[in-house]
Amino acid sequence: METQNFKFETVAVHAGVEPDPSTGAIMTPIFATSTYVQPTPGQHKGYDYSRTANPTRTALETSIAALEGAQHCLAMSSGCTGTDVLCHSLNAGDHVVSVDDVYGGTSRLFRTVWSRHGIETTFADLANQDLKDFVRPQTKMIWIETPTNPLLKIIDIERVVAQAKKLNPRPLVVVDNTFASPYFQRPLELGADVVLHSTTKYLNGHSDVVGGAICFNGKELKEKLHHIQNSIGGVPGPFDAWLVLRGIKTLALRMKRHEENAKEIADMLEKHPKIERVLYPGLKSHPQHEIAKRQMGGFGGMITFFLKGNLETARGFLEKVKLFSLAESLGGVESLIEHPAIMTHASIPAEMRAKLGISDTLIRISVGIENVEDLKKDLLQALG
C-alpha cells in the first residue's frame, strides 16, 4: 500500500504489508526459502537467492524506509553488521570522526577491527566540540549517535550536517537512531545521509531478535551498499525479519508509553536524596534539553543516573531491584537496568571510560511499558 500520505501510526501498521496474492493472507508470510524457481535461465520475479533478497525482508525494508522517510532500507543481521557494511564502503587511508560516547560495539569495531584495515577513527565530543576541529582531508564519514549511550548527550544533527556540507570531499553523515527510533527522530529530514538502527532494540521491541537496518536516499548509494551486503552476506533470516515487522506495528504505542513512564521516573529520581544526578533529555536540567526539544518529537525511554556512593552502593542497588531485570540491551517492553562500566561498556578501555564519565556509580535504565507505579515502587524499595 502507498503510505506516503498517512501519519506515522498508520505507516507503522501498513507500510510494506500487502495481502499475499496467492492466498489472501493479511499478514506477510515467512518466506523460508533460500532459492526461487526460474521458468527459463535468468528470468525471475525479482528474487533469485535469499542472500540477495527475500520477500519477508523486502516487506521489512519497505516498512522501515517509510518510517524514516527514506527511499531505501537494507535490513541487516544485526546493528553492528549495518555499521560494518558502512565501514566497508570506505577505503584504506580514509578517516572517520565519531561521537566519543558511542555504543560500545561501534567503538570496538572502529578501534579494534577497522583500524587494522587502514581506517582511522577520531572520537570527539560533538555535543560540546566543533566537527571542524577534528576533520582531515581524508575524512569520509561522520558518525553521530544521538541520544548517546550511556550518557544521553544530544548532538545537534543539523549543525553537524551544515559543517559536513562545507567540506570537500563531502563526508557521509551517519546517524545511529536506535535510541530515539523514527517515532521521535528522523535524521534524514534533518539532512543526514544514512540512518542506522539496531532493530534489536525499539523497532522490534520485544527482546527476541538481534537485527539491524540502514536507511538512505539515492540509487547510487543503494547499489554500492547492497553490493557490499550481498558480497559479505550479513543478512537477517526471514523469521527475524518477520518478527521485527510485527514489532513495528506497535512502535508508536510503545514509544509513547516508554516516554510517559520515563518522564515520571526521571522526575522521581531527580528528587531522590540518594541520587547525585539524573541524565534524561526531557529534564530541564539536561545540558542539551533545548536541542532535544527542537530536533526530537519526544525524549524516549532511556534514563541514566549517578548514585551517591561507590561501586558497592551500585552493586547493592542492582541486586535489590526486582521488577527491573539486570541485563544488557534496551528497548523491549520490559524494564531493564544495567551497570555500563561492568556490562555494556566493558569493551571500552578504562581510561577512555573515565574520560567520558562512565563511572562506577553510573546506572542506565531502559524503561519498559509496565505500570509506572509498579516501576517507581521497585526503584524506591531498592534505593532503600
Ligand X SMILES: *Cc1c(COP(=O)(O)O)cnc(C)c1O
Return the residues of window 58-117 that contact ligand X according to CB under 6 A: 78-80, 103, 105-106
How many Å apart are CA 252 and CA 247, to the nearest integer? 10
Distance CA 306, CA 196 (A): 29
* Exposure letters 226-239 (e unless 16+ CB within 10 A, then b): eebbeeeebbbbbe
With both helix axes pointing from N to C terminus, report the angle between 55-68 and 238-248 in degrees, rounded to the nearest 10: 30
Contact 48, 35 (CB under 8 A): yes
Residue of 101, 176, 240, 378 with catalytic role: 176
Q: Closest approach of Cβ 263 to ligand X, in Å? A: 21
Which residue of this chain has its Cβ atom nearest to ligand X in the complex? 79
Residue closer to ligand X, measured from CB, 174 or 379: 174
175 burial via Cβ count (<10 Å: 0-12, 13-18, 19+): buried
Instruction: For 131-181, give the DSSP string.
Output: GGGT--TTEEEEEEESS-TTT-----HHHHHHHHHTSSSPPEEEEE-TTTH
Q: 329-363 burial by CB neighbour count: b if 16+ within 10 A, else e?
A: bbbbeebbbbbbbebbbeebeeeebeebebbbbbb
Q: Find the binder of ligand X among 12, 97, 210, 251 (CB under 6 A).
A: 210
In the bound complex, what is the minimum distance in angstroms from residue 58's beta carbon to ligand X? Answer: 20
Contact residue for ligand X among 88, 153, 201, 339 (CB under 6 A): 201
Closest distance between ligand X and the C-beta of residue 177, in Å?
A: 8
Residues pairing with 195 in the sheet: 175, 215
Interaction of residue 149 with ligand X, rule CB under 6 A: yes
Active-site residue, selected from the candidate residues 111, 140, 201, 364: 201
Nearest one of 229, 224, 198 to 51, comparing CA atoms: 229
The H-or-E segment that residue 124 falls in is: strand 120-124
Is residue 185 within the footprint of ligand X (CB under 6 A)?
A: no
Q: Catalytic residue at 320?
A: no
* Binding-residue pattern over the window 334 to 373 for ligand X, x denoting contact by CB under 6 A: ----------------------------------------
* Dihedral of alpha carbons 224, 229, 235, 238, sign: positive
User: Minimum CB separation from ligand X for residue 76, in Å?
Assistant: 8
Q: Give the residue with the Cβ less far from ligand X, 28 or 78.
A: 78
Tell me which stretch binds ligand X (CB under 6 A): 50-58, 166-174, 184-192, 198-206. Answer: 198-206
- Give the x-and-dash track for 211-250 against ligand X (CB under 6 A): -x--------------------------------------
- Piece in contact with ligand X (CB under 6 A), picked from 11-19, 117-125, 171-179, 348-356: 171-179
Q: Quick one: 58 or 198, whose CB is closer to ligand X?
A: 198
CA distance 299 to 155: 13
51 counts as catalytic: yes
Residue 145 interacts with ligand X (CB under 6 A): yes or no: yes
Q: At what angle do helices 372-383 and 251-271 cross, to 10 degrees?
A: 30
- Does residue 201 carry a catalytic annotation? yes
3-state secondary structure of 347: coil
Check 100, 103, 254, 378 and give the catalytic one: 103
Examine the residue annotation and report whether 103 is marked as an active-site residue of this protein.
yes
Asked, as a colleague might, if the bond just before 236 is cis with ω within 30 of 0, I would say: no
Q: Which is nearer to ligand X, 105 or 237 (CB)?
A: 105
| Catalytic sites, residue numbers | 51, 103, 176, 201
Catalog residues that contact ligand X under the rule CB under 6 A. 78-80, 103, 105-106, 145, 149, 176, 178-179, 198, 200-201, 210, 212
